[in-house]
Amino acid sequence: MKIQILGTGCAKCEKLAENAKQAADNLGLDYQLEKVTDLNQIMAFGVMTTPGLAVDGKVLSVGKVPSQGDIEKLLQG
Amino acid sequence: MNLKKEWKPLSWIVIGFFVCFFLPVDLPRAQQAVLEALYLVRWYAREHVLLCLVPAFFIAGAVAVFVSQASVMKYLGPKANKLVAYSIAAVSGTILAVCSCTILPLFAGIYRMGAGLGPACAFLYSGPAINILAIVLTARILGPEMGIARAVGAIIFSVIIGLLMHLFFRHEEQQKIAAAPPMMADEETRPLWQTALYFAVMIGILVFANWGRTEQTSGLWHLIYSSKWLITGALSIILALMLATWFRVGFVRIIIGAIPALLLALLVPQHPELAFSLGVLALSLISNLKDTRESEMGQWFEESWSFARKILPLLLIGVFIAGILLGRPGHEGLIPSAWVATLVGGNSLGANLFASVFGAFMYFATLTEVPILQGLIGAGMGKGPALALLLAGPALSLPNMLVIRSVMGTKKTVVFVVLVMVMATISGLIYGTFF
């Protein structure tokens, strides 16, 4: 699966990327982490409140940094 | 040595060496400039960090956690009433733009998926000027009338710019992205009136703790000044009660946390800032206990801390550089005051225009426009041009113009930039005439 971090590169996006990586490692998933920093690409996801988290193009969370535990739930659900 | 790989560090080291070699340490002007910078940094640290910036960080953090962005964005959606959309776009920067890095995505979102070009431009113009930290710092350092003028000027002119952009480009149909923005439903944890009261109390603490000394020794303002710590203390107790009940921290922890602050307030009442600091410390500790860290208290602290970590170093570096270049108000730094006065002194059209154009291209790191302006005003910049720079500065910079261009194309960007410069100049002229 492809985990995508949507954000123009501020501190929150870094934090989200870190949380997502840990969550995915915890679950033992086979994944790639991709950072989407281009504004127009982020818009294509329909996300305006960054940072956003998407998996294979499907947006799971916007406008906040979910905790590692919350991300694990999102990834499983 | 592999020159192809190492040329970058090599050239930096060579440049650094020459700068150090020719460092004009024994020039009196340079020595004075460094001293000025140190004085200015100390003044900021003593007067502005503890009572003003720290509570402002907590408020900004609370905005980020407790105000749902989705509830604001629904008024900026594609089907939103135009009148509502413009008004919300003009004022929502207070809530949505707490972090400068969120402004451009929101702008692009409003333009491409939401209410369209006009509201998006209104948001982009007013957002950076009216976020809570910017208003607090502007009012505190440059005076309340400048703070108010900045907020009011930004809001009014943002609507005008938005409407003009819409008018100029009304025939261009933009292709909307089909995907509707996914809105995560936020679980409402407490009624709106509780959140509103909680914010009111925090803003009260910020305002009263910083209440300025008055010239007269009687009258309402003086009465407030002389009892400002009583009011601040009472508000802090109310805030503590809210945290204990509505935020489920519990009375035991709140009381244990409050005891040191209360003791200091009673023992050394001549230094209220000590009690204030202990209160902040207790709040930080309570937010980071094992079982509160994951809750909203923990998130609140996390957000506040991330603002502090991001903004404080930038701000102090900005203050230092402003001090070296311009000195404290009434003193000179490296740049002679006469230069500043000829370029942007008084309230001429030229001075205002120069300030807006300069502000539009120059990049100001978050909030550093305030100390830089303080230096410029101290060196003889007029009030009108100062406001012009405050309005054009944070809204635009060369790097963000490039991003804006990638979102809405060259033509619209050029028109927007010109409009911003014109409107900032007009605001400056009006303000400079009256103040």
The pLDDT value given to residue B68: 73
Q: Can you name the residues that pair with A5 across neighbouring β-strands?
A: A35, A53
d(C-alpha B250, C-alpha B240), whole Å = 10
Query: What pLDDT does residue B133 have?
Result: 84
Residue B309 with chain A: CB contacts under 8 Å: 11
Question: One-letter amino acid identity for B161?
Answer: I
What ipTM was estimated for this complex? 0.77
| Tens-place pLDDT, residues B138-153 | 988 898 889 999 999 9
Cβ atoms of B201 and B235 closer than 8 Å? yes
Q: Residue A43 and residue B104: Cβ atoms within 8 Å?
A: no
Q: And the tokens for B232?
A: 């601040």
Closest Cα in chain A to B110:
A48
CB-CB contact of B65 with B296 (8 Å) = yes
B315's tokens: 């701000």
Give the pLDDT score at B414. 95
What residue type is assigned to position B412 of the chain? K
Q: What's the gap in Å between the CA of A29 and the closest CA on chain B?
A: 24
B328 close to B378: Cβ distance less than 8 angstroms: yes
In B143-227, alpha helices (H) = 144-168, 192-209, 220-226
Axis crossing angle, helix B103-112 with helix B117-130, rounded to the nearest 10: 160
- pLDDT score for B47: 84
Cβ-defined contact of B104 to A11 (cutoff 8 Å): no
Which candidate from A40, A50, A69 shows the least CB-CB separation from B407? A40
Q: Which pTM was predicted?
A: 0.82
Distance CA B70, CA B96 (A): 10
In a mutational test of the B interface, the residue from A13, A48, A53, A68 whose CB has the highest number of chain B CBs within 10 Å is: A48
What's the half-sphere exposure (Cβ side, CA atoms, 13 Å) at B266?
5
Q: Which two tokens stand for residue B405?
A: 């261009």
Q: Do B182 and A9 touch (CB under 8 A)?
A: no
As a whole number of angstroms, the distance between CA B203 and CA B193 comes to: 15
How many CA atoms does the CB half-sphere of B92 hold within 13 Å? 28
Give me the residues paired with residue A4 across strands.
Answer: A34, A54
Indicate if A10 belongs to the active site.
yes
**CA-based nearest residue in chain B for residue A37:** B105
Query: Do the Cβ atoms of B168 and B159 come closer than 8 Å?
Result: no
Mean pLDDT by 10 residues, chain B (435 residues): 85 94 88 91 88 89 80 78 89 74 82 86 88 86 90 92 91 59 59 89 90 79 88 94 90 91 90 91 91 84 87 87 86 86 88 92 82 89 92 86 89 94 94 88
User: What pLDDT score does B122 carry?
Assistant: 93
**Catalytic residue flag (residue A38):** no
> Residue B263 and residue B238: Cα distance in Å, rounded?
17
Strand, helix or coil at B293? Answer: coil
Continuous segment of H or E residues that includes residue B104: helix B103-112
Enter the tokens of residue A20: 């997502």
Looking at chain B from residue 289 to 318, which residues have their Cβ under 8 Å from any Cβ of chain A?
A: 294, 306, 309-310
Using the beta-carbon criterion (under 8 Å), do A43 and B403 form an inter-chain contact?
Answer: no
Rama region for A52: left / alpha / beta (φ>0; ψ in -120 to 50; rest): beta
Residue B113 touches partner A, C-beta closer than 8 Å: yes
Q: Is B174 on the interface with A (CB under 8 A)?
A: no
The minimum CA-CA distance between B262 and chain A, rounded to whole Å, is 35
Q: Which of A5, A43, A45, A46 is nearest to A24 (CA)?
A: A5
| Helix (DSSP H) and strand (DSSP E) numbers for chain A | 3, 4
Q: Inter-chain contact A48–B310, Cβ cutoff 8 Å?
A: no
Report CB contact under 8 Å: B181, A47. Answer: yes
Which DSSP category does B346 fall into? T
Q: Is the pLDDT of residue A39 over 90?
A: no
Strands A52-55 and A58-62: antiparallel
Which percentage of chain B shows pLDDT scores above 70? 95
Choose the closest CB to A49 out of B69, B294, B406: B69
Which residues partner with B65 through β-bridges?
Answer: none
Half-sphere exposure at residue B359, Cβ-oriented, CA atoms within 13 angstroms: 34
Residues of chain B contacting A45 with CB distance shorter than 8 Å: 179
